[in-house]
Amino acid sequence: MTVSSNTAKLVFRLVLLGFFAVVIQESAVSQISIFGVSADLTPLVVMSVGLLCGSLTGAVFGFATGLLIDLVLVQTLGVTSLLYIVIGYWAGRLHELRDPSHELVPLAAGAVAAAFAGLGMAVIQFLLGVDAPVSLLLLQQIFIVVLVDTLLALPVYWLVRRIVRPVLPEDPRRRRRRAYTTGGLSPLQQGAARRASIPRPQSR
């Protein structure tokens, strides 16, 4: 399978993922009330794509997903996109710089993404003069949404990984790590083996 074929399949899967994530969120999940608020899956999906695909893909996916949300909700275009670009790019940079492999990383990243989306939306609406006053009740609702999204972060990440992982290019760092854990030699071990294989001059 060629690289261009993988890229086309990745783009196709991301387009479908973003579309169905927005549709499911706005038509089903937003109608379910948990402690008076509804969960928001879309920042978790954007965060997951960034963690799996990198900063550029995460930012583009975040922009497209946010724009679709603004169109569906008939609100100011670009507001959600701005927030989701930051979430996708930040999660992608975390993938590129730290290569997070611990299973709890999506949990923490999901909490940060949900908090940033909730607080960021409140701040932007306040700056735009939208009639949504910042109050203690609003902060309480954002806090509950963050808690609910944190619980959903791992399942959402696993689902997104299952969708996009088959068409992702293999990360060289992951390949090296797998070689070490399956019996391969680390760079230090390789250097020691080379030194040991060099014949030493015999003393007379």
Q: State the residue range of the domain holding 165.
A: 3-170
pLDDT of residue 98: 75
- Is 194 within the bounds of a domain? no
CA dist 13 and 28 (Å) reads: 21
Residue 2 Cα distances to 20, 54, 176, 185, 192, angstroms: 27, 20, 22, 29, 37
- Is 41 within the bounds of a domain? yes
Q: Give the pLDDT confidence of 2-55 residue by residue, as tens digits.
A: 667 888 899 999 999 999 999 999 999 988 888 778 889 999 999 999 999 999
**What is the count of structural domains for the chain?**
1
Query: Over 80: is that where the pLDDT of 129 sits?
Result: no
- Is 176 within the bounds of a domain? no
Place of tokens 């701005």: 82
Greater model confidence, 124 or 1: 124
Q: Give the pLDDT confidence of 43-58 residue by residue, as tens digits.
A: 999 999 999 999 999 9
pLDDT of residue 113: 95
- Is 128 within the bounds of a domain? yes
- Is 191 within the bounds of a domain? no
Torsion angle, alpha carbons of 159, 164, 169, 174, to 10: 0
Does this model's pTM top 0.85? My answer is no
Q: Give the pLDDT confidence of 99-123 residue by residue, as tens digits.
A: 666 778 899 999 999 999 999 988 8
H-type helices in 99-134, by residue range? 105-127
- Is 144 within the bounds of a domain? yes
- Is 95 within the bounds of a domain? yes
Residues shown for the chain? 204
pLDDT of residue 115: 94
pLDDT of residue 178: 45
CA dist 51 and 136 (Å) reads: 32
C-beta atoms surrounding 106 within 10 Å:
26
Residue 50 Cα distances to 2, 124, 143, 149, angstroms: 23, 23, 23, 17
pLDDT of residue 180: 43
Q: Give the pLDDT confidence of 149-173 residue by residue, as tens digits.
A: 999 999 999 999 999 999 887 655 5
- Is 89 within the bounds of a domain? yes
Query: Over 50: is that where the pLDDT of 179 sits?
Result: no
* Half-sphere exposure in the Cβ direction for 183 (13 Å, CA): 0
CATH of the domain at 43: 1.10.1760.20
Among the ranges given (1-5, 86-90, 94-98), the one the predictor scored with the smallest mean pLDDT: 1-5
Query: Over 70: is that where the pLDDT of 134 sits?
Result: no
pLDDT of residue 148: 93
